[in-house]
């Protein structure tokens, strides 16, 4: 068996590799990666590993972004610091996990589950299954962390010059990253820098109203003007007010985008 480790904490990666060697001496660790960018590039340039160990929080964002940007066919075991109650969301979606700090018993349990899955497939092959909706999975975890309910931001109080400006969620056209900073653009065309990451904002807003187009843009339904087919199966999103840079949705996410638009 071979495995890929995606973990940005070196100590955690070394601990996992040590446990793997103890439990499965013949297992080969193909690589250890620390970021979303590295993981996407590696998965697109190499054959699929038989197993992936993946931390949820990486140095450049949330690891679920990997699933938005490339196809992952390998079974995934998440490593996470979320509390045990929140992890019920992972169980419901058929995804295994390891709660940090990792233990030998937890890892053995994951291997037992993996072995059981493999028994239903061909000898020497990794079990394959349709990947769950990782966006919804993340939201389920966040909701459980908030006490099981659904909590969406109604407004943001944004420092602007010498004042604090309240901006209601219903007035937001889109959030966008430019030059490493996150900006909120209102439907009236006003623009404010906001002290949140795009991942944080995505977890705060109503997914029926907002759609994460890519790593740079999270837009609201009322700002959508039209969709235009783009080369290589991608989709160009036209917004009002017009975004400063082209908003392009990757080919794997076009179906999700269309379903979101139709659901409105």
Q: For residues 197 and 91, what is the distance between their CA atoms, to the nearest angstrom?
A: 28
Sorting pLDDT into bands at 50, 70 and 90, what band is 134?
low
Query: DSSP E strands: which ranges in the chain?
Result: 2-6, 28-33, 52-55, 57-58, 61-62, 76-80, 96-99, 155-160, 163-168, 172-178, 181-186, 191-193, 210-212, 217-220, 224-229, 235-239, 247-249
What's the confidence (pLDDT) of residue 77? 83
What's the confidence (pLDDT) of residue 28? 94
169 and 236 part of one domain: yes
Note down the domain range covering 236.
155-263
Q: For residues 197 and 175, what is the distance between their CA atoms, to the nearest angstrom?
A: 10
27 and 128 part of one domain: yes
8 and 137 part of one domain: yes
Give the angle 109-144-6 at the CA atoms, nearest 5°: 50
174 and 126 part of one domain: no
12 and 87 part of one domain: yes
Query: Tens digit of pLDDT for each residue in 197-219?
Result: 888 888 788 888 999 999 899 99
Q: Which of 80, 112, 145 is the last residue of a domain?
A: 145
What's the confidence (pLDDT) of residue 140? 55
Q: Does the model's pTM come out above 0.75?
A: no
Other C-beta atoms lying within 10 Å of the C-beta of residue 95: 19
DSSP 3-state of 201: helix
Q: How far is CA 39 from CA 51, 53, 225, 232, 236, in A?
A: 14, 11, 33, 22, 25
Alpha-carbon Rg for the chain, nearest whole angstrom, is 20
Q: Which of 100, 123, 145 is the last residue of a domain?
A: 145
Sorting pLDDT into bands at 50, 70 and 90, what band is 8?
confident
Domain count, the chain: 2
What are the percentages of helix, strand and coil residues in the chain, rounded to 5?
35, 30, 35
Mean pLDDT of 94-99: 58
Q: For residues 51 and 193, what is the distance between their CA atoms, to the nearest angstrom?
A: 40
- Least confident range of 28-32, 73-77, 127-131, 180-184: 127-131
In a domain, 150, yes or no: no
Q: How far is CA 159 from CA 152, 193, 196, in A?
A: 21, 8, 12
Tell me the CATH number at 250: 2.40.50.1020
Query: Tens digit of pLDDT for each residue in 111-120?
Result: 887 777 667 5
131 and 195 part of one domain: no
């Amino acid at each position: 068996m071979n495995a890929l480790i995606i973990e940005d904490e070196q100590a955690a990666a070394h601990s996992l590799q040590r446990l793997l060697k103890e439990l499965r001496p013949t297992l080969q660790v193909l690589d250890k990666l620390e970021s979303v960018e590295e993981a996407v590039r590696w998965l697109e340039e190499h054959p699929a590993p038989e197993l992936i160990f993946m931390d949820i929080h990486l140095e450049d964002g949330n690891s679920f972004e990997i699933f938005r940007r490339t196809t992952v066919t390998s079974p995934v075991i998440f490593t996470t610091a979320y509390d045990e109650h929140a992890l019920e969301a992972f169980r419901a979606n058929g995804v295994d996990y390891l709660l940090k700090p990792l233990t030998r018993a937890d890892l053995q349990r994951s291997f037992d589950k993996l072995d059981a899955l493999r028994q239903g497939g061909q000898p020497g092959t990794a079990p394959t299954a349709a990947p769950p909706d990782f966006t919804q999975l993340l939201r389920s975890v966040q909701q459980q962390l908030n006490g099981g309910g659904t909590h969406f931001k109604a407004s943001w109080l944004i420092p602007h010059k010498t004042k604090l400006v309240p901006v209601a969620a219903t007035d937001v056209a889109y959030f966008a990253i430019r030059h490493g900073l996150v900006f909120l653009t209102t439907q009236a065309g006003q623009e404010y820098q906001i002290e949140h990451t795009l991942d944080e904002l995505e977890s705060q807003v109503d997914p029926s109203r907002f759609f994460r187009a890519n790593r740079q843009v999270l837009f609201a339904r009322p700002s959508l003007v039209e969709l235009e087919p783009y080369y290589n199966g991608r989709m160009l999103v036209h917004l009002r007010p017009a975004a400063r840079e082209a908003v392009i949705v990757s080919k794997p996410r076009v179906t999700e985008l269309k379903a979101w638009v139709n659901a409105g």
